Structure 1
Amino acid sequence: MTVFSSDEIRSEALFVSDLQRSQQPTPELIREAVTETVDRLGESGCAALVAQEFGEHPDCALGRMQWARTAVRTAFAA
């Protein structure tokens, strides 16, 4: 399993993943989604898609990023 040190990268990866808040994902599913997304898109690919979503759908993107940050902090807590 790939380990990422930055909550920012993890949050961006979760944001652009297929995982949805409505699925009430477990910490394990969140960690898996983050790893798979970064492996597939790379850090810069995740960042680019986040920027695109904020440009195209700023009203929805803010709530999703807030969820992603909270979920990442919980899932990757020491």
Structure 2
Amino acid sequence: MTPQLLEHVRAEALFVSDVQSSEPLDPERIRRAVMLSVRRHGPRGCAALVAHEFGEHPETAVGRMGWVLDAVRRAYVRAHR
């Protein structure tokens, strides 16, 4: 799995988690939420739920996806950066 694809899977998993952008978050909380979502739904299930949300609520899904991408990038800092 490429680093970019892994980032997308993590973002989709965080997107479908119960974590909210208004919560104070640390990297450990984000990583735990990603792990639980992937265990619960699987990578494809997370992607399907994200697609459903974009279809049903595009006005809020876009903002949430921006937030989760930023949160995932901060929680999973690459060693080579």
Identify whether the pair has TM-score above 0.5, normalized to the shorter chain: yes
Specify the code of the residue in structure 2 equivalent to 1:13.
A
How far 1:25 sits from its partner (Å)? Answer: 1.1
> Which residue number in structure 2 is paired with residue 67 of structure 1?
67
Q: Which runs of 5+ in 1 are unaligned?
A: none
Paired letter, 1:70: D
Structure 1 runs, 4 residues or longer, greater than 2 Å off: none
CA distance in 1, matches of 2:37, 2:58: 21
What secondary structure sits across from 1:23 in the alignment? coil
Give how far 1:54 is off.
0.2
Residue 24 of structure 1 and its aligned partner are, at CA, apart by 2.2
Shift of 1:57: 0.2
Specify the structure having the higher radius of gyration (Cα): 2
TM-score, normalisation: structure 1: 0.92
**CA–CA distance in 2 between the matches of 1:23 and 1:30?**
11
How many residue pairs get aligned? The number is: 74
- For structure 2, the residue ranges without an aligned partner over 5 or more in a row are none
The alignment's C-alpha RMSD in Å is: 0.8
Amino acid at match of 2:55: G
- The aligned counterpart of 1:44 is 44
